[in-house]
C-alpha cells in the first residue's frame, strides 16, 4: 500500500479510493483501470523484491553460523584441542564464559552436538545432560530414543545415554542436580562421582559421595536399599531392568531412568499437570510443584 500512496501524492491529490485516480482533464477523481493495473504491477514487483531481501537475510544468517562453526573448528585444529564438553569450551575457547547453548565434540572433532552449558554455577564448565523447562517435550520414550538423545536443547532435552557414557568413561566426573519450584526456590544436590557404563552393560549408573546440597541425597544412600540407584541399569518402558516384577517405569510415568525396585528420585517423570510421583522425595512428593529440572556433569 505504501507505493499506492506515493503514486497518489505525486499527482498532488489524495483520492478517497484506490480505484480512482485524479484526472487533470476533468479536474476530478475518475476510475482509471490502466493506471490501477500499473499500480498492481508496481506492488507485485515490490513484493518480489521483499521476498528476495528476506531470502538474502536468511542466507547471510546461515553464512554467519557457518563462519562461527568454522572459527571453532580452526581453533580446534590450531590448538589441537579436544572440546568434548563444556569445561573444555570454558577453559580453551575465547568468549565462552556465559551460560547458553554451545557446540561440543564428545566423540571426535568431526561429530558435533548442541548442548546447554552452565558457565556460572560453582566455577562453570557444566554440561547439561538433562534439562526440562516445560512440558513441551515428552520424556516417555523408547530405549533407542534415550540412547540417541531427544528434545530441544534450548528448552527440554535428554543428551543421550551414548553421550553420557562417552563423557564419563575413564574420568572422574561430578553430577549436579537442580530443581526449581513454582515459588522460585532452587534446590540442588551435588554428587562427587558420577559415571554411566556402555550399552552392553545397559548404561549402568555409578554414583559416589559425598553428596551435598539442599535437596538431600535421594539417589546414592536413601536409607532404603530398594530405592538406592547407584549400580542400577537404565530402564525404559520397552526395556525393563528394574528389580521389581512390576515395571517401575510404568509407575514412573514411562520416563527412562535408573530404577531400583522403585525410586525416591526420578527427574524424567510426566510433566505437570500429569501425575508425576516421587520426583525427589522428600521433600518433593509430586512433580506439580516443579518448574525446572537440570542434571549437569563436569570432570574434576
Asked, for residue 277, whether it belongs to a domain, the answer is yes
Helix axes 33-79, 2-11, angle to 10 degrees: 130
Strands 126-132 and 111-118: antiparallel
The per-residue pLDDT for 104 is: 95
Q: What percentage of the chain reaches a pLDDT higher than 90?
A: 61
Greater confidence (292 vs 32) lies with 292
Whether 158 and 294 share a structural domain: yes
Specify the DSSP class assigned to residue 207.
E
Asked, for residue 69, whether it belongs to a domain, the answer is no
Whether 48 and 124 share a structural domain: no
The C-alpha cell that represents 88 in the structure block: 573444555
Whether 156 and 44 share a structural domain: no
Asked, for residue 42, whether it belongs to a domain, the answer is yes
This prediction has a pTM of: 0.74
Whether 223 and 151 share a structural domain: yes
Asked, for residue 253, whether it belongs to a domain, the answer is yes
Whether 92 and 38 share a structural domain: no
The per-residue pLDDT for 197 is: 98
Task: Give me the number of domains the chain comprises.
Answer: 2
**Containing domain of residue 134, as a range?**
82-299
Asked, for residue 67, whether it belongs to a domain, the answer is no
Whether 287 and 251 share a structural domain: yes
The per-residue pLDDT for 7 is: 40
Does the pLDDT of residue 242 top 70, yes or no? yes
Nearest-angstrom CA–CA distance, 277 and 296: 22
Domain CATH number, residue 148: 3.90.215.10
* Average pLDDT, integer, range 8-37: 53
Whether 159 and 118 share a structural domain: yes
Whether 28 and 98 share a structural domain: no
Whether 148 and 231 share a structural domain: yes
Nearest-angstrom CA–CA distance, 44 and 63: 29
Whether 127 and 171 share a structural domain: yes
The per-residue pLDDT for 13 is: 44
Segment 105-120, tens digit of pLDDT = 999 877 899 999 999 9
Asked, for residue 261, whether it belongs to a domain, the answer is yes
Whether 120 and 219 share a structural domain: yes
The per-residue pLDDT for 3 is: 42
Greater confidence (28 vs 254) lies with 254
Beta strands in the chain (DSSP E): 20-23, 28-31, 100-108, 111-118, 126-132, 150-151, 157-158, 173-181, 186-196, 205-213, 277-280, 284-286, 290-299
Asked, for residue 71, whether it belongs to a domain, the answer is no
Whether 255 and 186 share a structural domain: yes
Amino acid at each position: 500500500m505504501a507505493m499506492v500512496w506515493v503514486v497518489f501524492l505525486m499527482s498532488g491529490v489524495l483520492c478517497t479510493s484506490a480505484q480512482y485516480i485524479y484526472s487533470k482533464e476533468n479536474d476530478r477523481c475518475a476510475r482509471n483501470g490502466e493506471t490501477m493495473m500499473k499500480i498492481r504491477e508496481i506492488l507485485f514487483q515490490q513484493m518480489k523484491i521483499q521476498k528476495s531481501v528476506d531470502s538474502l537475510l536468511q542466507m547471510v544468517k546461515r553464512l554467519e553460523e557457518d563462519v562461527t562453526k568454522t572459527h571453532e573448528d580452526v581453533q580446534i585444529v590450531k590448538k589441537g584441542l579436544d572440546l568434548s564438553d563444556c569445561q573444555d569450551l570454558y577453559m580453551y575457547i575465547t568468549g565462552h564464559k556465559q551460560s547458553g547453548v554451545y557446540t561440543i565434540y564428545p566423540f571426535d572433532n568431526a561429530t558435533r552436538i548442541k548442548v546447554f552449558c552452565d558457565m556460572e554455577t560453582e566455577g562453570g564448565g557444566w554440561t547439561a545432560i538433562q534439562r526440562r523447562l516445560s512440558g513441551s517435550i515428552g520424556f516417555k520414550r523408547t530405549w533407542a530414543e534415550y540412547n540417541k538423545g531427544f528434545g530441544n536443547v534450548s528448552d527440554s532435552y535428554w543428551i543421550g545415554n551414548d553421550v553420557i557414557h562417552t563423557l564419563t568413561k575413564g574420568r572422574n566426573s561430578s553430577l549436579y542436580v537442580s530443581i526449581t519450584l513454582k515459588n522460585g526456590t532452587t534446590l540442588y544436590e551435588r554428587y562427587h562421582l558420577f559415571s554411566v557404563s556402555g550399552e552392553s552393560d545397559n548404561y549402568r549408573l555409578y554414583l559416589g559421595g559425598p553428596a551435598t546440597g539442599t535437596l538431600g541425597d535421594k539417589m546414592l544412600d536413601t536409607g532404603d536399599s530398594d530405592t538406592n540407584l547407584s549400580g542400577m541399569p537404565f530402564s525404559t518402558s520397552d526395556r525393563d531392568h528394574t528389580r521389581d516384577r512390576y515395571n517401575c517405569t510404568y509407575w514412573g510415568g514411562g520416563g527412562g531412568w535408573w530404577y531400583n525396585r522403585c525410586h525416591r528420585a526420578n527427574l524424567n517423570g510426566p510433566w505437570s499437570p500429569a501425575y508425576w510421583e516421587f520426583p525427589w522425595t522428600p521433600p518433593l512428593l509430586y512433580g506439580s510443584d516443579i518448574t525446572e529440572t537440570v542434571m549437569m556433569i563436569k570432570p574434576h
